Amino acid sequence: MKILIKKFWKITLFGIAMGFLEAAVVIYLRAIIYPEGFCFPLKDIPSNLFLFEIGREISTILMLITVSMISGRDFLEKLCFFIYTFGIWDIFYYIWLKITLGWPASIITDDLLFLIPVPWVGPVLAPIMVSITMILFALFLAYLKSKTYILRINKIDWMFLITASTVIFISFVFDSRSILLKEMPSPYHWELLVIAELIVVFVLYRIYRRKT
């Protein structure tokens, strides 16, 4: 248990630092492309910067995967560390942007979240909610594992988790065509996020009921 707690502290620091690094890069990009302040509709990104941005996003995910592979002893621990670090990184990314730029103006301010494979757009609160869920999911599984319970995530659980992830993905890319056409984003589909969150809670309940 103590070893697991120490690892969570270390990757928490990593996630916080990585969030600052991510915010710093975005600050530079906005100074170049949006000197008057980021807003929709999106501006065209120079092709060379766009390629670097895609590479940065891929590198970010690879860094999160790598730190989880180094920290975890088995697949379940690796999964917990990955989704936990992802959540910490994403939340502190917005915290650092708020501290340094005073942005976002509110938690319902729309943001460009990701570019792969199409633009992801949604109010800041949405990815924060997803990140909080990921953190709690990881801590819950880690807690049960620390109690020496044998945890099993079966095929049905994975099916539900993949479904939840897909629904969240759809909620963020639902309006990608309009964004690519340089239009304003339409209202976010909160109902999709709520459905996905409920599915995750249901999976956690299933896992808890089966613990041995």
What are the start-end ranges of the H helices in the chain?
Answer: 2-33, 47-71, 75-101, 125-146, 155-173, 176-180, 190-210
Residue 81, CB-side half-sphere exposure with 13 Å CA sphere: 26
Domain boundaries, the chain: 2-210
Q: Which residues contact residue 53 at a Cβ distance below 8 angstroms, ignoring those fewer than 6 apart?
A: 29, 45, 115
Overall pTM > 0.95: no
| DSSP notation for 104-120 | -SSTT-EEEEE-SSS-E
pLDDT tens-place string over residues 138-179: 999 888 887 777 778 899 999 999 999 999 999 999 999 999
Give per-residue pLDDT as tens, 93-147.
999 999 999 999 999 999 999 999 999 999 999 999 999 999 999 999 888 887 7
> Could you give the CA distance from residue 186 to residue 174 in angstroms, rounded to a whole number?
9
Q: Which two structure tokens, joined as six digits, stand for 186?
A: 């339409």
Taken as a whole, the chain contains a residue count of 212
